[in-house]
Amino acid sequence: MKAFRSMVLVSSDPTSIERGAKDVFQALQAEISAFGLENEISLTMVGDVGRHDAAPLVIVYPEAVIYGPVKKEDVHYLVEEHLYKGRIASSFQAPVKELSGKIAWLSSRKGTLPAEQRIVLERAGVIDPNSIDDYIIHDGYQALAKAVTEMTPEEIYTTLEKSGLRGRGGAGFPTGTKWKFVHKAQGDKKFVICNADESEPGTFKDRLILEGDPHSIIEALAIAAYTVGADEGYLYIRGEYSIAQERVMIAIAQAKEMGFLGKNIFGTKFNFDLHVHSGAGAYICGEETALIESIEGKRGEPRARPPYPTTHGLWGKPTLVNNVETLANVAPIIRNGPDWYRSFGPASSPGTKVYTILGNVNMTGLIEVPMGITLREVIAIYGKGMKNGKTFKLAQTGGSSGSIIPASLQDTPMDFDSFAKAGVALGSGALLICDEDTCVVDLTKVLLNFFRKESCGKCNPCRIGNQRAYEILTNISEGTGKIKDLDDLMVLSDNLYQLSNCGLGQTAGAPIRDILNYFRAEVEAHIRLKVCPTGICPMSGKRI
């Protein structure tokens, strides 16, 4: 995403539109162009910004200054004073007013632009991914050299613990602690594995990292191996990611030739070899023990835990498993230190997070921003507002295994602890943004259809529970559901979470729980009134 000096947001809620927001937007476009600021100022219309008393509003970052109500005749003065001359457009000199009140999602951002801050993606799109020389020029393998020649394994996992890095695969487990567990585990042989089986619908962040910066993962795996005492590792890559596999293979060959893999790395006694294993299209292999089973040549099914892979992993040996995004944070932390890393994001969840933005927004794609950003900011700033001026209804975070987040939680900081306190989950990083025309019954039915097909079938709660939940949702969507079905769905959701063998089944009931918590009236309308409020489900061709 292009870096601009300032961002200008124009409110486009119904009240703002009625009072001339589109005229204000067009006037801003013309004036910004007239002053030659097109390459410095980003301009967009956004939906509900949380304040309606002085619509339409014009908000300017990074100062977080709010002007309103703004008329098109005020725009020339506002652009000249604030955007061109760089000073607040005083209400004493023009009709436009700087508002003294706060907008919740701006109050903590005063003086800072929530722009992309790239740690994981710092080289993606900058270097030639097939050139190890480009990687080295951009600080590549400096962290590995520092780790194996200047640091003890204890110092490395302690550094990660101090940094506060938590797993970016969805669980949010402290990375340094996991490394310490494997380091302390007893075993004559240990392994490290990168989980790049990115099969979560809507998620493609790991693919971009592997395709754009493959050496960063190789370097991180080598550091991990040195830390835990492993001499062999695996990169398990989703089979459909052919370009990523090709570039990783090239990077491994280059690293071996340069001496960053193989024997006596950096002249030490540390040896490390790395293999690539291609997945075969099974979503369940994203679960770490099913992935291990797959590498061993077995059917991809989760193992019973405990014991955990940290003590009994690949071929029964202590094994460290991290996902791509987690590993991509390692080398920058080793180079720059834990205090540097903690300067990004909130104290409880430091660092940045890579998100894929999909759905009913004007701009989709991938961003890397500090932990703690809110959904409202993501939609307004990076999604460029809701498509066609529609109202934001919900977001699904983390792909199919994530939570359904209602509009009432869009100002909750997106970090592990804040979301957990709100009763929802951050997940892997996919953000599906849905507008007012989304039917929650239809959405949940689609998700349960995915889970019932991707379940490995090993445990009864998941195999039977997902199928039964899908059948109930199908009945509700077709107008044959009963109120008792809602109680049955809650029991199924709870059983899936409590009794399933792995994360697939444990998270499959989350959408059911969320729609009954936040959108129960809409679900009941399908049952009691035999209508779909959005007109999506086959029982109804009209809205109410």
**Residue 503, domain CATH:** 1.20.1440.230
Q: In this structure, is residue 539 part of a structural domain?
A: no
Predicted local confidence at residue 238, as pLDDT? 93
CA 501 to chain centre: 25
193: phi then psi, degrees, rounded to nearest 5: -135, 135
- My answer on whether 189 and 65 are in the same domain is no
- My answer on whether 450 and 426 are in the same domain is no
Position 161, amino acid: E
Q: In this structure, is residue 119 part of a structural domain?
A: no
- My answer on whether 226 and 363 are in the same domain is no
Contact 463, 457 (CB under 8 A): yes
Contact 41, 5 (CB under 8 A): yes
What the block records as the tokens of 325 is 């995004």
Q: In this structure, is residue 540 part of a structural domain?
A: no
Q: In this structure, is residue 430 part of a structural domain?
A: yes
Give residue-wise pLDDT tens across range 398-455: 878 889 999 999 889 999 999 989 998 888 889 999 999 999 999 999 999 999 999 9
Angle between helices 510-518 and 440-454 (to 10 degrees): 170
- My answer on whether 392 and 485 are in the same domain is no
- My answer on whether 251 and 374 are in the same domain is no
- My answer on whether 428 and 450 are in the same domain is no
Q: Is 90 exceeded by the pLDDT of residue 91?
A: no
Mean pLDDT, range 248-276, rounded to an integer? 97
Q: In this structure, is residue 407 part of a structural domain?
A: yes
- My answer on whether 326 and 450 are in the same domain is no
Instruction: Could you list the beta-strand ranges (E) of 351-429.
Output: 352-359, 365-370, 392-397, 403-406
Contact 162, 176 (CB under 8 A): yes
Contact 6, 61 (CB under 8 A): yes
Contact 395, 408 (CB under 8 A): no
Give residue-wise pLDDT tens across range 17-51: 889 999 999 999 999 999 999 888 888 877 666 66
**Residue 79, domain CATH:** 3.40.30.10
Q: Any bridge partners for residue 384, and if so which?
A: none
Q: In this structure, is residue 348 part of a structural domain?
A: no
**Residue 399, domain CATH:** 3.10.20.600
Average pLDDT, the chain: 89
Mean pLDDT, range 214-225, rounded to an integer? 98
In a 10 Å sphere around its CB, with 0-12 CB exposed, 13-18 middle and 19+ buried, how is residue 494 labelled?
Answer: middle
Boundary of a domain, candidates 376, 405, 435 = 435
Q: Is 90 exceeded by the pLDDT of residue 493?
A: yes
Boundary of a domain, candidates 390, 418, 435 = 435
How far is 290 from 519, CA to CA, in rounded Å?
A: 34
DSSP state of 535: S
The answer for residues whose C-beta is within 8 angstroms of residue 201's C-beta and 6 or more apart is 399, 400, 430, 450
Q: In this structure, is residue 542 part of a structural domain?
A: no
* Percent of the chain clearing pLDDT 90 (strictly above): 66
- The domain in which residue 19 lies consists of 6-107
What the block records as the tokens of 92 is 């004493």
- My answer on whether 388 and 448 are in the same domain is no
- My answer on whether 494 and 454 are in the same domain is yes
Kindly write down the DSSP assignment for every residue of 296-321, as one continuous string: TTS---PPPSSSPTTTS-GGGS-EEE
- My answer on whether 17 and 138 are in the same domain is no
In a 10 Å sphere around its CB, with 0-12 CB exposed, 13-18 middle and 19+ buried, how is residue 433 labelled?
Answer: buried
pLDDT category, 112, cuts 50, 70, 90? very low
Nearest alpha carbon to residue 356 among 433, 280, 251, 453: 433
Integer angstrom CA distances of residue 443 from 116, 184, 406, 409, 421: 30, 45, 13, 19, 24
- My answer on whether 140 and 74 are in the same domain is no
Q: Is 90 exceeded by the pLDDT of residue 272?
A: yes
How far is 97 from 216, CA to CA, in rounded Å?
A: 49
Number of domains in the chain: 4
Q: Minimum mean pLDDT among 87-101, 128-142, 280-294: which range?
A: 87-101
For residue 313, the number of C-alpha atoms closer than 13 Å in the C-beta half-sphere is 27
Boundary of a domain, candidates 435, 454, 477 = 435
Give residue-wise pLDDT tens across range 241-260: 999 999 999 999 999 999 99
- My answer on whether 325 and 450 are in the same domain is no
Contact 193, 291 (CB under 8 A): yes
Give residue-wise pLDDT tens across range 442-467: 999 999 999 999 999 899 999 999 99
Give residue-wise pLDDT tens across range 367-403: 998 898 889 888 887 888 888 878 899 999 887 888 9
Contact 15, 49 (CB under 8 A): no
**Residue 228, domain CATH:** 3.40.50.11540
How far is 542 from 91, CA to CA, in rounded Å?
A: 48
Q: In this structure, is residue 345 part of a structural domain?
A: no
Contact 304, 286 (CB under 8 A): no
pTM: 0.85
Contact 175, 166 (CB under 8 A): yes
Contact 32, 83 (CB under 8 A): yes
